[in-house]
Amino acid sequence: MEIASEEIHRLLFYVSAVNRRGHKLSISEFEAYAKGPTRRTKTVSGVLGGGLADLQAMMGSRKVPTESHLEYLQRLGWVRGEGEIIKLTRLGKAILDEMSSPAIDVQSDSATEVLLDPSDPHAYVKVVGVLSELGDGLLVDPYFRYDQLETIVDHTQIRRVLTSKKTGNSALSQIQFALAVIDEGQRPEIRVAESLHDRFAIGDNGHVVAIGTSLNSVGRNHSVVMPLSETAGKGVSAVYEDLWGGATVLSPKSQ
């Protein structure tokens, strides 16, 4: 016996996907999707003046769109128009992130590797998708840069970043300036350790993911994302929590 219909299942998945990507789904946005998750259509039949579409219509009634793809995406609030420019909304970005995420189950104890190919234009999005699954966690990246900070804030719930002096004084200063323009409620805490070697994302739920390269190198080098087993994850988490406790806090700095 099914607990719920396929339609209800789809709506629940939609809400889950949007919430997981950090967007606060409004009632109007939910109702727009619930009332029309697919493009609107109308029923036509008979001879309409020639052409393939009319020939198909002569063979019987069929569904045809009554709105363009742009009208459809605007109706759902996934894109917006700024003059002649079409841009993704935050909601649209949430949907894109979800659809572009790799098939990697961070809830499983089985270590399934995901290869990130430089030729894949969505390689960076895939890594961000994995990070967003880990909730309010800790990112360990010895070469973290300020341009990754915006991605972390906008597309994940990561609220702690541990980097190292390998980043360089200039890059660390840039991070401080970037922190100063982020609202305090969204601002992650960043600390600097003397030395780091590996890269991990440690979730608040205890799940740990190993990342084969720094975020600033994703898309340029072949790398692997791999969830660790429970035993290995606990060991890694303990080590980096100790390093976090002894690391130097990187404070925001106004220009």
Please give the model's pTM, rounded to 2 decimal places. 0.55
111, pLDDT greater than 60: no
132, 98 contact by CB (below 8 A)? no
Q: If you average pLDDT over residues 99-119, what whole number do you get? A: 50
**CA–CA–CA angle 156, 157, 158 (5° rounding):** 95
- CA atoms 87, 90, 93, 95: torsion sign: negative
Tell me phi and psi for residue 44, to 5 degrees. -125, 155
The pLDDT tens digits for 47-96 are 444 455 555 555 556 667 788 777 888 888 988 888 877 787 888 877 77
CB contact at 8 A, 18 and 94: yes
Residues 106, 133: Cα–Cα separation, whole Å: 7
pLDDT band (50, 70, 90) for residue 28: confident
Judged against a pLDDT cut of 90, whether residue 5 lies above it is answered with no
